[in-house]
Structures are given as structure tokens and as C-alpha cells.
Structure 1
Amino acid sequence: MTLPADITERLARLALPSQAVIDGAHVDALSGETFDNVSPRDGQLLNKVAACQKEDVALAVFAARTAFEDGRWRDQGPRAKKAVLFRLAELMERDADELALLESLDVGKPISDARNVDIPLAINTCRWYAEALDKVYGEVGASPVDRLSYAVHEPLGVIGAIVPWNFPLHMAMWKVAPALAMGNSVVLKPAEESPLTALKLGALALEAGLPAGVLNVVPGFGAVTGEALALSMDVDMIAFTGSGPVGRKLMEYSARSNLKRISLELGGKSPQIVFADCPDLEAAAQAAAWGVFYNQGEVCTAASRLLVEASIKEAFVERVAEVAKGMKVGDPLDPSTQFGAMVSERQMNTALGYIAIAGSQGARRVLGGGQVLKETGGFYVEPTIFDRLQPSHALAREEVFGPVLGVMSFTTEDEAIALANDTVYGLAAGLWTSDVNRALRGARRLKAGLVWVNGWDACDITMPFGGFKQSGFGRDRSLHALHKYADLKSVSVTLR
């Protein structure tokens, strides 16, 4: 793999963080245990990272609780909190190229996406919540003249944030930024596949002036580190983005421990509906392709089900395939790469398994379907499209979390909506039509937390993000996320 000189030079200077961040210090796991952090671009070992155990989590939670109770962050005024979070955003911006490189190495996403999309969005999230933290107001009740009644938002306490590997820093900031903005302490557990930017974030937060113990980062495995965090009697809330099975375990752990609050952003099997009166078929074709193949299909809102009106289906699917064929698959560190490596060999094999099942169930392969770039040692699956998908097929019902698109056709609006809603998930959905009445009807009838009309993923930090049904509950982004990390207290004062 021949890389541009500037990338090669930065790689030579790059320091890979490996230690946990607990109570303001960079530390090894108490046991001394580590785990191998492998890059999906070539299957090679990047570094060995501290494998935090139950004892390490206990120390991190104790540090977070101590910091919260003594008020070193909680009791700082809005101006002081703003200054620290704005400084953190500045430091992230200063080190943006390094963060992008860490992200690309760790999870296989194209460096151009990490540099131009993921890291800037993470920085913007930090700045947005810094600016928003003094915009959360209480309320005064309609009390009798001899009483003053009011309600105030108070921080919950210690937040356990468990984040995924597909957008490691961006998803971390969706949780860390609003939790800190409300005055909480945080214990951040990154996915074992993607520890590097979380550990770097912990270092930058300390440099920005966040007091010791307010943000702790504990890398490790979900079944050990994540479970210990979720079972802790001194954690007030778990904010999680990830799979449905893990979400169910977290609810069980809440019941087994202190009934801590749980916020879950889980999987999706998102439909994108294209009617024959679509106002821009080329834009829809681009959205259909990039909506499922962006980030190698490792996106919770991936438009993995394409529903096309029968009268235009053949030509439309052909155009989607042409767009996908034009995506450059290659080394994630090559700035010209548009489609990188899957995060792990296991995830690659999962996608290949669904491809095999789709063929055996009678779907017609239109494009792709195999592993590529085997000679690199990395984990690459080409963009893949199957037509003639049936609602009962595994590819129509189960989340692949990989670059596999399934196509179905419909003839009426009612049929399209019924097919779209025929899933246990309800994260995102979209429709393309020139009929404003159909658009508004569809937006109302689609059972999803996010609905896009004549576009895909057309949203930003100002709007809430979360799902219906088995896609979870609770919302990231927007002012609603601030309320998620707070308790609402009512106070009544009798006037004498």
C-alpha cells in the first residue's frame, strides 16, 4: 500500500494511546492485562491497550462519584463550564488530523471521511453543548399567593457511557458533551475495537481543564468492563449505542443493581421508499447507494432496504448499481478511498454470511457479493446489492451492519408503507415523492424516530436522534439530550 508522503510522515510521528484515564491519571489496568488492538486495513497489530477489569471500573466510578459529590465540576457556573468545553473543542480541532488518523487506523473508515466528516462533527457537538448548557431553564408553577413553586433540572450524578465502534469519537461526544454540560461526571467505555480516540479524548479533556475524575475512560471488553459499569451500584445512568442483545442485557443489569436509568440507541433495518413521481431520480439513486454503503454499511441508520415502485424499479436499481460500482474501495489511509475496510474479521464474516444466505433464499445478486483486497490482510467486502427480496428473507429482517442492500418492489402507497413498517426496528425511514400530501401522510404513517423526505440522513445536532420499537428509547442530540442527563426536581416554598 503506497500512501501519500504527508500521511506516511504523520504515521511515523503518531503516538497510540494505550492506558486508561482514571481520576486524572493515565494508568495501566490493575491486573496488568492488555488486549490486542488490530487495524482492519491490514490485519496488523496497532498496539496493546489496557484491558480494564471490574476493579478498574470500580476505581473509575469512585473517582467520578467523588468528583460529583464534592462539586468540583457540578457546582461550577455556566461560564466556567462553557470555557472548559470550548477549550476542549479547540484542542480537538488542533489535533483533528491526529484524531482522524487514529480513527481510520482503528476502524478502517476512509481517512477523508474521518477528517472531513466524523471529527468535525464531534468537535461541533462539543461546541454546541457548550453553547447550549445555559439555555436549560426551569419553570415556575401556578401557585397560590402564599406559596412559590418551581421546578429545576439537576444533574443525575455518574453517567456510564458505552459507545460503538462505527463512529467512535462522534458517538462518544453525543453522550459525553451533554452529560458534562449538565454537570455530571462520566465513565466512558469505548468499544474494544476502537479505543484510540476515546483515550485521546480523555487526555485532551484534562488538558482543557476538566477536573480530575470528571471524565474517566476505561477500555476493555463489553462482557467484563461494560458489565461491571452497568452493574455498579454507584452509576446513575447508562447511555448506550449498540446492538439489541447488549441493550437487553443492560436493562437486566439495571434491574439487578440500582434501577439505574438506561438510554438505548440500538439497531435498524431502515427503509428508503422511492415512488415513481420522485422529483429527482438521480439524487434518489445517489442517496440509495450512499445511504447503505457509506462507512462500509456500518451505520445504524443505513438504508439497507430499498423499496421502489414497480414501474421504475429495473432502471432505478441499475442506476444505484452504477453509483456503487463507482465507489473506490481501498486502503482507508489513502485520501482517494471512498469505501474502506470493515472493522474486524468477525464483522466481515458476518456480512459474507448474510450474502450467502440471501443467495440461498432466492434473492437475485445484482452487484458484488465477495471479499476483496485479500492480499492486504485486511477485512474488505465489496458493495453488494440483492434484488427480488421477500419480506421473510433474513436480509429483509435482520441487521447486517455491512455493505449489503436488499431491494423490494411495490405498486401502491399502502403496500409501500406496510413493507417499510414490517420490521421490529424503527430507527429511520425515508421516502421520495413530488406529492406533498403523500409525503406528509408517509411521514406520519412510517414508524420510525427519524423520517426523511426527498433526502437521506438530512439532519444535524439541532434535531433529536433515536428510534421507535426495538431500535431503543431516549434521544441523543438537540436540547432533549441535556434533559436526559438531568433529574427534574419540584420545590414548593410556603411564604410566611
Structure 2
Amino acid sequence: MTLFSDGQLYIAGKLRDAEGGAKYEDIGPWTGEIVAYAADASAADMEEAIAAARHAFDETDWSTNIALRRKLVKKLGEALKAERERLSEIARHEVGAAVLGVRIAHVDGPLNDIDTLFEIFDTIEWEKPLGDRSSWGIASKRTLVKEAAGVVGVITPWNVPFYITVGKVIPALLAGCTVIIKPAPDTPLLSAIVGELAAKVGFPAGVLNVVTGKDPALLGEMLTTDKRVDLISFTGSTGVGKRIMEKGADTLKRIFLELGGKSAAILLEDTPDFATAVAQSIVCFHAGQGCATITRLLVPRSRYDEAVAVLEAAYAGYSQAWGDFEDPNNVMGPLISARQRDRVMGFIEAGKAEGARLIAGGNVASDKGNGFFVEPTCFVDVTNDMKIAREEIFGPVLVVIPFEDEEDAIRIANDSDYGLSGAVRSADPERAMRVAKRIRTGTVGVNGGLSIAVDLPFGGYKQSGIGKEWGAEGFDEYLETKVISVGA
């Protein structure tokens, strides 16, 4: 018996099954068992969704009727809040979220963010006078106008799918775009419920569409290559992001990419309460399945032995305090799938082979049940040229790297293909800020500061992505800028 009702497609204003009634299994990470079945869309289903979104943008007043879309998106937001409990249960069983993780990031966090997104939306200047000016003897009265970008393909990941869906879909709809959501195959239900509630609220046909399926390449590449889709907003791996850029080049569509990370925390030698800062570096939240998770810990060589001793004790103390489905204080559960578990174990074996020293974890946690569990793992004696220091593992694995001085720490932190997040700690705030400004990442937390929030722009440097999500800059991703000049 499955836990949840089957997920349906939402296309052209209608909830329905996939072509031919096709479905696929939705596997729960805690147990490895089926929790639901989801509609397995065909190319024909996606074609209908693209056509519906294009028609809704071109032939209705959605893109220009600000009052209408604010009203309907507000209703959708309130409908989502009313389903907090069901969303939480789906996140726990489908995504593998622990109880405290649901409250922080998976459900409660994004639901609370909806009101902030409306506050940002209400600050947009849709028309802005640019003044009168004469150029080349021609006097003109100029106006800057903001307009919706068009049809948006939203491609979401499996790690925090509802969080990402809210952060993309609410701004895109408010901006006047029409949207096609294509969720990761592992987590279809948290998108299917958005379609269900959009139907209940009464969205105009084609404004919002949800297309689930087990073949991400088929459906994703249809969105990426179709000239009727104006913009792709993607969160996921760097490899897939590169593929999207390549496939989107032929139609020159706009691309937003929020990709991988290998973020570093620098603990300078004067870090206050050094032991606590080191102990708090355990990679455990959602089993390390977060793009902005700090997975490289940089500590001064002068305090390296101290840091290793603290980590040995911290991991030993945490070894049994995770993986409990019912524990209200638990933040760590399983990995999303057997495939991801095996991938993480492959990195762990690579770390051993490269000569890094394992001081905690390193095994499949079979004592936790039949789900996809890997122990919280820590490697020390790591050099920044090792595979485990350079590639995104997306699992509960921390690597510890010593540095000689401040310049060496900055060099190591920046010696990465990624640049998504980071952290710096020092007793001297000016010193910490100086170092933070030299770290080539999109966000940096200084002395415990939270640099990732829905009212702040979020995005990476280098191979961590292109563009910004959230904040006013996030809305700009879904807007075009037009200048109208009238002869005086």
C-alpha cells in the first residue's frame, strides 16, 4: 500500500494522467519502498504544456494584468500554506527530510518566504521616467519599462524541491511569465501538489503547468530546445547546467543556472571559541545534500592537531544522534536514492585511495534500516588537489585542509571550479571582512552571519552558476527591460 495518492499532470488548466495512463514508482529514501506513483509524461504531454504556456502568454492578459496575477498568486500561496501538514509529510517520505529539516528548509521555510516575495514584488517599478534629453539634435522623453520575459521552463532538483519551486515559481508568475514546472524524477509529488492547488484556485489555462516524468533528459531537453520557451530557470548539478547551456544556445534563450558548490569555511587562528566553531562544521543537515553546504574546512596549521581532536570527539558524539525518523531535533536522514548512496561511497573510497585519513564514518549505515543511509564522514590530512576536495560529493562528507597563513587560506578557498558560498571567522571583524571580500563566491557568512535568505540575491561565481535567485535581483531574471523614447 502506498502512502500518498498518485501524482497527476497539470496542463492547460486541467489535472490529468499522463498519455496512456503511464506512471512510475516514487521511492521513499527512508525505507527504499514505494510511497506513491507519479504520472510519467510523454513527449506529447510536454508538447501540450509548452503550447498551452505559449498561448497563455501571447493570447491572454496574464503578462499585463498585474492586479489579476497578484490576486491569484496570493491565493495559491495561501492554499499552499493551508497544506503545510501534507507538504511536510510528502517532504519527509519522498525527499528523505528529517523533522527539523522540514521546519527549517523543506516546507516551513519556503512557506514563510512567500510573504517576503510579495513584499519584494510590490517594490518593482514597472515604468520609470528617465528624463528628457537631447542627443544628436533630437529631443526625447524617455521611459524605462519592465515586462515579463515570457514562457519559463522551471527545472527543479530533488534535494529541497519545494524550497526551490517556491523561489522560482512565485516570482516568475508575479512577474507575468507563464510557467512549466519539470521536477526531478525522484521528487514528483511536491510539484504535483502545486498543480493541484493551482487548479483549485482557478488559474487561467496554461499559465502554470506541471509535467512530471521519469526521463529527465527527454522532458528537460524539450524545454531547453523549444523556441517557444523563452527562459530556463534551473537548479541542479553543474554537468546538467552545462548541457542546458549547450542545448539552449540554438534558440539563444535566457538561462538561469544555480549549480554545484564546494564551499570552504576559513577559521583564522584567532577565531573566538575555536573548538565550538570546529565542532559545528560537521556536515549533517539533510545528509549534506545542499549546494551551498560548507564541505571544506580550512584550519590554521598552528591549530590543526587541536581541530582534528575536536572533530574526532564531535563526530563520535554525533554517531547515534541522526537517522531517527521521529526525532523532532534530527536534521539528518538518508540520501535520496540508492544511486546517490553509491555515488557518495565512491567518493569515500577515492578519498581513502588518495591518502586522506578517515577519522569518522565512511560506511553505509545499514543499522538505520533499508533506506539509503551513509554515516557522517570526515577526512583529515586532505590536500586541495584531491578528488574529495575538488568535486561536489553531495553527501555527508567533510574534508579538512590545513593552511599556513591568511594568504594561503584565501588561495586554497579560491582554488576551486566552484564559487557558491563560504564562511570566515576571526576575532577581528575588519580582518574577517577583508578576507570575505577576497573569496570568489556569491555568498559569504562572516562570524556566523546568515548570507542565504529569500530577500537576498543568491547565486554563484564560476561553475556554480549564472544569474541570481531571490531578492529583487531574482525577480529581474523573469523581466525584460524596454526603453521607450518619445520625440519632444
Partner of 2:141: 148
Partner of 2:377: 384
Alignment partner for residue 301 of structure 2, among 283, 305, 310? 310
Partner of 1:36: 25
Alpha-carbon shift at residue 492 of structure 1 (Å): 0.9
Partner of 1:46: 35
Alignment partner for residue 234 of structure 1, among 228, 236, 239? 228
Is the alpha carbon distance of 1:468 and 1:36 closer, same or farther for their aligned partners in structure 2, counting shifts above 3 Å? same
Whole-Å separation in 2 of the counterparts to 1:325 and 1:86: 47
Alpha-carbon shift at residue 198 of structure 1 (Å): 0.7
Alignment partner for residue 48 of structure 2, among 59, 69, 80? 59
Alpha-carbon shift at residue 31 of structure 1 (Å): 4.0
Partner of 2:5: 16
The correspondence of residues 233-252 of structure 1 with structure 2, limited to 5 A, is: 233-252=227-246
Match status 1:104 vs 2:92? yes
Alpha-carbon shift at residue 210 of structure 1 (Å): 2.7
What is the SS of the residue equivalent to 1:392? coil
What is the SS of the residue equivalent to 1:183? coil
Alignment partner for residue 461 of structure 1, among 445, 454, 471? 454
- The CA RMSD over aligned residues, in Å, is 1.9
Match status 1:265 vs 2:253? no
What amino acid is aligned across from residue 340 of structure 1 in structure 2? G
Whole-Å separation in 2 of the counterparts to 1:364 and 1:371: 18
Is the alpha carbon distance of 1:238 and 1:99 closer, same or farther for their aligned partners in structure 2, counting shifts above 3 Å? same
CA contact (8 A) 1:410 1:416 kept: yes
What is the SS of the residue equivalent to 1:341? coil
What is the SS of the residue equivalent to 1:191? coil
Match status 1:165 vs 2:158? yes
Identity %: 35
Partner of 1:297: 288
CA contact (8 A) 1:163 1:189 kept: yes
What is the SS of the residue equivalent to 1:276? coil
CA contact (8 A) 1:96 1:115 kept: no
Whole-Å separation in 2 of the counterparts to 1:357 and 1:303: 20
Whole-Å separation in 2 of the counterparts to 1:111 and 1:174: 21
What is the SS of the residue equivalent to 1:176? helix
Match status 1:200 vs 2:193? yes
CA contact (8 A) 1:125 1:177 kept: no
Partner of 1:4: none
Partner of 2:391: 398
Match status 1:121 vs 2:121? no
Whole-Å separation in 1 of the counterparts to 2:35 and 2:107: 21
CA contact (8 A) 1:85 1:130 kept: no
Partner of 1:351: 344
Where structure 1 has 5 or more consecutive residues not aligned to the other structure, the ranges are 1-10
Partner of 2:310: 319
**TM-score, normalization: structure 2?**
0.94
Partner of 1:93: 81
Partner of 2:176: 183
Whole-Å separation in 2 of the counterparts to 1:194 and 1:324: 30
Whole-Å separation in 1 of the counterparts to 2:244 and 2:425: 37
My pick for the range that moved more, 167-176 or 119-128, is 119-128
**TM-score, normalization: structure 1?**
0.92
The correspondence of residues 323-472 of structure 1 with structure 2, limited to 5 A, is: 323-327=314-318, 328-332=321-325, 334-373=327-366, 376-455=369-448, 457-472=450-465
Whole-Å separation in 1 of the counterparts to 2:63 and 2:473: 19
Is the alpha carbon distance of 1:282 and 1:91 closer, same or farther for their aligned partners in structure 2, counting shifts above 3 Å? farther
Partner of 2:217: 223
What amino acid is aligned across from residue 53 of structure 1 in structure 2? S
CA contact (8 A) 2:419 2:462 kept: yes
What amino acid is aligned across from residue 43 of structure 1 in structure 2? G
> CA deviation digits over 1:188-215, x for unaligned, max 9?
0100011111100111223234323111
CA contact (8 A) 1:17 1:200 kept: no
What is the SS of the residue equivalent to 2:294? coil
What amino acid is aligned across from residue 206 of structure 1 in structure 2? A
Alpha-carbon shift at residue 331 of structure 1 (Å): 4.2
CA contact (8 A) 1:89 1:124 kept: no
